[in-house]
Amino acid sequence: MKKVTIRIQRQPEAALAEMGDRFAKAWHTGKASGAMLVFETPAALFRTWLR
């Protein structure tokens, strides 16, 4: 089973920093931690999924 995490993160800099950390961990371990979708607002999330 695959795991996808959906989050609302209003600070884009914090979201980018977290993605960079996750990438570095995956690069060094050779294992992905699962997919993550980050949206800046709930409206952006639903705008994406309702198209």
Residue type present at position 48: T
Number of domains composing the chain = 1
pLDDT tens-place string over residues 3-46? 888 999 988 888 889 889 989 999 999 988 888 888 999 999 88
Which has more confidence, 51 or 45?
45
Q: Which domain holds residue 29?
A: 4-49
Q: Do the beta carbons of residue 41 and residue 10 sit within 8 Å?
A: yes
Q: Is the pLDDT score of 49 beyond 80? A: no
Two tokens, residue 31: 């294992």
Give the pLDDT band (50/70/90) at residue 1.
confident
Q: Which pTM value belongs to this model?
A: 0.67
DSSP annotation string for the chain? ---EEEEE-S-HHHHHHHHHHHHHHHHHHS----EEEEESSHHHHHHHHT-
